[in-house]
């Protein structure tokens, strides 16, 4: 396990996250992840996350409508100054309950760590996160 530093592009928001890219990352085919090109590292313990600065610069993406596959159980945060995606937290029973995931590109990880990080492609478009997405080339 490592403690990663992370931040937005403009530096207004900074955080720390305890996890390990080598343990795997996740991409999903749900409408949010597809549109946002979201790539996350789910932290093994949701409490292994700390905002270091910029809480006043955070904005939350409004939940999508249920007709779009949306849920008010997930909260996606970004910097309201530069727009960088930062993290998500939520509580979904099918995903093991409470979780926190950080946006991999917001981590100050090395290029080698990012290249080596395994990616699991999940089928969130069908609320089937525990199974692989049937197609990933468009993601």
Residue 58 is assigned to a structural domain of this protein: yes
Domain that holds residue 91: 2-131
How open is the CA angle 96-98-100, to the nearest 5 degrees? 110
Assigned domain for 136 exists: no
In a domain, 63, yes or no: yes
In a domain, 22, yes or no: yes
Over residues 96-117, the pLDDT tens digits come to 889 999 999 999 999 999 999 9
What was the pLDDT predicted at 91? 87
Residue 138 located in a structural domain = no
State the Cα–Cα distance between residues 128 and 135, nearest whole angstrom. 13
Q: How many domains does the chain fold into?
A: 1
Give the closest residue to 30 by CA, choosing from 90, 97, 105, 84.
90
Across the chain, mean pLDDT equals 90
Q: What is the CATH number of the domain that holds 98?
A: 2.170.150.70
Q: Tell if the pTM clears 0.75, that is, is over it.
A: yes
């Amino acid at each position: 396990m490592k403690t990663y530093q992370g931040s937005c592009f403009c530096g207004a928001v900074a955080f720390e996250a305890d996890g390990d890219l080598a343990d795997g990352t996740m991409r999903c085919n749900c409408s949010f992840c597809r549109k946002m090109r979201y790539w996350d590292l789910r932290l093994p313990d949701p409490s292994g996350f700390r905002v270091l600065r910029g809480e006043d610069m955070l904005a939350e993406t409004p939940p999508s409508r249920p007709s779009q596959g949306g849920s008010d159980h997930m909260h996606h945060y970004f910097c309201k100054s530069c727009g960088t995606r930062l993290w998500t937290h939520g509580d979904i029973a099918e995903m093991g309950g409470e979780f926190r995931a950080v946006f991999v590109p917001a981590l100050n990880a090395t290029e080698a760590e990012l290249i080596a990080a395994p990616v699991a492609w999940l089928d969130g478009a069908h609320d089937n996160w525990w199974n692989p997405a049937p197609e990933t080339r468009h993601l």
